[in-house]
Structure 1
Amino acid sequence: MAAPDTRQLVEEVTRTVLSRLQDMQLQIVVGVSNRHAHLSREDLATLFGLDAMTVYRRVRQPSDFAAVETVSVSGPRATFPKLRLMGPCRAKTQVELSRTDCVTLGIDAPITQSGHLDEAGPIDIEGPRGKIHVPHGVMVAARHIHMGPSHAEALGVKDQDLVSIEFGGQRGGVLDNFIIRLKDDWVPEIHLDTDEANALGVSDGDFGKLIRK
Structure 2
Amino acid sequence: MSFMIETSARHIHLTQETLEKLFGEGYELTVRKPLSYPGQFASNERLTVVGPKKEMANVSILGPVRKMDQIELSATDARTLGIDAPVRESGDVKGSGACKLVGPKGEVELTEGVIIAKRHLHITEADAAEMGVKNGEIIKVACGGEGRKLIFDDVVVRVNKDAVTTMHIDTDESQAAGNPKVGEIVR
Q: Percent identity?
A: 36
Per-residue CA distance 1:105-152 (angstroms, 9 max, x = gap) = 001010000010112100100111110011011000001011122221
Greater per-residue strand proportion:
2
1:51 Cα offset (Å): 4.0
Number of residue pairs aligned between Structure 1 and Structure 2: 185
**Which structure 1 residue ranges, 4+ long, deviate > 6 Å from structure 2?**
none
Partner SS for 1:44: helix
Residue 113 (structure 2) pairs with residue 131 (structure 1):
no
2:176 is the counterpart of 1:192: no
Does the 8 Å contact 1:52/1:88 carry over to 2?
no
Q: Is the 8 A contact 1:28 1:210 kept in 2?
A: no
1:172 aligns with 2:177: no
TM-score, scaled relative to structure 2? 0.96
Q: Which has the larger radius of gyration?
A: 1
From 58, 81, 88, give the equivalent of 1:112.
88
SS in 2 for 1:198: helix
Q: Distance in 1 between matches of 2:50 and 2:160?
A: 32
Q: Using the alignment, how far apart are the partners of 1:63 and 1:160 within structure 2?
A: 22
Cα shift readout 1:142-184 (whole Å, capped 9, x = no counterpart): 0101112222112111110001000142211111110001222
Gaps of 5+ in 2: none
Q: C-alpha separation between the residues in 2 aligned to 1:134 and 1:150?
A: 39
The 5-angstrom pairing of residues 59-70 of structure 1 reads: 59-70=35-46
Q: Unpaired segments of 5 or more residues in structure 1?
A: 1-25
Q: Contact 1:34 / 1:194 at 8 angstroms: preserved in 2?
A: yes
The SS at the match of 2:126 is helix
Q: CA RMSD in A?
A: 1.0
**TM-score, normalised with respect to structure 1:** 0.84
Does structure 1 residue 39 correspond to structure 2 residue 14?
A: yes
